[in-house]
Amino acid sequence: MFDLTGKTALVTGASGGIGAAIARTLHQAGATVALSGTKVEALEALAAELGDRAVVVPANLSDPAAVEALAKDAEAKLGQVDILVNNAGLTRDGLILRMKDEDWASVIDVNLTAAFRLSRALVKGMMKRRWGRIIGITSIVGVTGNPGQVNYAASKAGMIGMTKALAAEVASRNITANCVAPGFIATAMTDVLADAQKEKLTAGVPAGRLGTPDEIASAVLYLASTEAGYVTGQTLHVNGGMAMI
């Protein structure tokens, strides 16, 4: 079950905690993976760890030309891209009263517009081959909102809407588009928090703990699989019951 042998996948933000876990999981399932991100050293290290069937395709997603180049680079190195995981994302938190235009724009550019551009570039080949998977890593806050994150929440909600429209457009070509929405996940970002802060964080989670990157990666693997071919336009929430929607 969930065998991706012979399939190729492009994962953006692959140097981050969740992105690396996604790349490892897809690779383990047999896929050849292209690792994208801005931290070239971290990507090279991950590629070396994975060994065969892993290539590095660095890109700065805030640059439109670089996004187009990334799609071409990935197709050149992988032969074709069957699975696209739009995972790259950044935050520029602040209350709306204090939020600068550039904080709004940079978050929308990387989290949403880059995902749109990559999807547009790579869906073409998927349509020709009559098989494809486009998976967006969104966030619980795209559905629930969160103070201090109007830009981030908008980008993540935008990704959910874009995914639904895209799913409707290409469903007849055997291409699915879905989102995975993590709740609180243990990454380098949460490791630095004090225990008291972590306790506060988990108080609102029925599962009583943070999630792991591997638990996000497993959801991505399912949506990438042939078995999930009839699931499209959906958002799979992986949040320990923090929000049941």
Partner 1 sequence: MSDIAERVKKIVVEHLGVEEGKVTDTASFIDDLGADSLDTVELVMAFEEEFGIEIPDDAAEKILTVKDAIDFISSKQG
Options 37-45, 114-122, 167-175, 179-187: segment touching partner 1 (CB under 8 A) = 167-175
Determine the 3-state secondary structure of 137 from DSSP: strand
Of the residues 50, 75, 109, 152, only one is catalytic, namely: 152
- How do the residues of the chain divide into helix, strand and coil, expressed in percent and rounded to 5? 50, 15, 35
In the complex, minimum distance from the CB of residue 169 to partner 1, in angstroms, rounded to a whole number: 7
Question: Cα angle at 110 between 223 and 158, to 5 degrees?
Answer: 60
Catalytic residue list contains 222: no
Radius of gyration of the chain (CA): 17
Write the binding mask 117 to 156 for partner 1: x where contact by CB under 8 A, - elsewhere: -------x--xx----------------------------
Q: Residue 160 has which token pair?
A: 């959910």
Q: Tell me if 165 contacts partner 1 by CB under 8 A.
A: no
In the complex, minimum distance from the CB of residue 109 to partner 1, in angstroms, rounded to a whole number: 24
Q: Tell me if 173 contacts partner 1 by CB under 8 A.
A: yes
CA distance 84 to 177: 9
In the complex, minimum distance from the CB of residue 71 to partner 1, in angstroms, rounded to a whole number: 15
On whether the CB atoms of residues 119 and 106 are closer than 8 A, the answer is no
Return residues touching partner 1 (CB under 8 A). 124, 127-128, 169-170, 172-173
Give catalytic residues, as residue numbers: 152
